[in-house]
């Protein structure tokens, strides 16, 4: 799979640099996590080893790769990581560091996926870079797969400038700074990510910038039923189901503490792309 700058080739044939291309759950309890997501989405798993000797579980939905699960470093909280595509992981990492990021997980190679590195950007949220292998596959936009991702941070302008400079995103702004500051990032004509500005009245000492990843729910199941299933599998509801421009959504934590969202896109209204994101958790 080649990764190209915007405008170099149509996305039907190439993966644009800056597009989401992988997600990874890091958790202190991989066994509990694998059981939870298998119950919620029907994921199956394959054991993989990376170039540093670390063990990963490759999550599959109907036979196609959708995520990986791995054990956190000692003392690290459970969380979902988002990886953005690059044609040259080392060069993109250097460019990110020059723009104020710092490396938090050194580069490694995962067979069948590619070479990846994890950084913390100047907006204080982690993100990953992935240089996909030729055999890379990543199912998105379907039930049980990644549907959307939002960067939630108080340093909204810093995040916009950093990622726009790194990947050439353009943006469309929704809301107002006093109520909702929601920016959708585009590559060419395609919306790829969003950035949500935290409202100061919702921030406390434990609030951290983060990516909120939305995983798809089928129309037949629906978000409300999926939430009930998640609770039955020992997940916790952080924000009850609500209607948004993305569809019927809810925010949860899995049994190991990782935050994520569910969304049924069949319930999305026609109209404005702005979406309220309950980021205060």
* Angstrom distance (rounded) from CA 84 to CA 261: 19
Which pLDDT value is given to residue 48? 84
Q: Domain extents for the chain?
A: 3-132, 146-267
Fold (topology level) of 146-267: 2,3-Dihydroxybiphenyl 1,2-Dioxygenase; domain 1 (3.10.180)
By percentage, how much of the chain surpasses pLDDT 70? 84
pLDDT given at position 207: 67
% of the chain at pLDDT higher than 90: 71
* Token output for 128: 């990953």
pLDDT score, position 76: 81
pLDDT digits (tens, 9 = 90+) for 245-265: 999 999 999 999 999 999 999
Q: 205: pLDDT confidence band, cut at 50, 70 and 90?
A: low
Reported confidence tier of residue 273, pLDDT bands at 50, 70, 90: very low
User: What pLDDT score was predicted for residue 56?
Assistant: 84
pLDDT given at position 111: 85
Q: How many CA atoms lie within 13 A of 166 on its CB side?
A: 32
List CB contacts of 98: < 8 A, sequence separation 6 or more. none
Phi then psi for 265, rounded to 5 degrees?
Answer: -70, -15
Arithmetic mean of pLDDT, 161-181: 82
Q: Which fold has domain 3-132?
A: 2,3-Dihydroxybiphenyl 1,2-Dioxygenase; domain 1 (3.10.180)
User: What region does 14 belong to: left with phi over 0, alpha with psi -120 to 50, or beta?
Assistant: beta
Q: Which two tokens stand for residue 252?
A: 């949860």
- Are the C-beta atoms of residues 142 and 107 closer than 8 Å to each other? no
pLDDT digits (tens, 9 = 90+) for 129-155: 999 999 899 999 999 999 999 999 989
62 CB-side CA count, 13 A: 7
How far is it, in rounded angstroms, from Cα 47 to Cα 58? 6
Segment 98-107 shows an average pLDDT of 96
The DSSP secondary structure of 140-179, one letter per residue, reads BSSBTSEEEEEEEES-HHHHHHHHHHHH--EEEEES-TTT
């Amino acid at each position: 799979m080649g990764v190209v700058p915007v405008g170099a080739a149509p996305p039907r044939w190439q993966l644009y640099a800056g597009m989401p291309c992988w997600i990874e759950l890091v958790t202190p309890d991989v066994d509990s996590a694998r059981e939870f997501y298998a119950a919620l989405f029907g994921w199956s798993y394959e054991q993989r080893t990376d170039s540093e000797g670390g063990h990963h579980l490759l999550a599959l939905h109907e036979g196609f790769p959708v995520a990986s699960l791995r054990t956190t470093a000692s003392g690290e909280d459970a969380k979902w990581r988002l990886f953005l595509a690059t044609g040259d992981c080392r060069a993109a990492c250097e460019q990110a560091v020059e723009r104020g990021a710092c490396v938090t997980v050194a580069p490694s190679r995962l067979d069948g996926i590619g070479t990846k590195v994890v950084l913390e950007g100047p907006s204080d949220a982690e993100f990953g870079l992935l240089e996909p292998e030729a055999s890379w596959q990543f199912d998105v936009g379907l039930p049980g797969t990644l549907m959307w991702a939002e960067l939630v941070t108080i340093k909204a302008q810093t995040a916009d400038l950093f990622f726009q400079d790194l990947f050439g995103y353009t943006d469309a702004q929704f809301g107002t700074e006093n109520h909702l500051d929601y920016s959708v990032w585009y590559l060419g004509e395609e919306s790829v990510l969003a950035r949500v500005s935290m409202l100061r009245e919702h921030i406390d000492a434990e609030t951290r910038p983060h990516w909120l990843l939305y995983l798809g729910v089928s129309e037949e199941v629906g978000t409300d039923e999926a939430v009930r299933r998640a609770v039955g599998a020992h997940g916790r509801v952080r924000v009850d189901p609500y209607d948004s421009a993305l569809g019927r959504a809810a925010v949860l934590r899995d049994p190991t503490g990782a935050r994520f969202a569910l969304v049924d896109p069949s319930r999305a209204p026609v109209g404005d792309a702005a979406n309220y994101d309950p980021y205060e958790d």
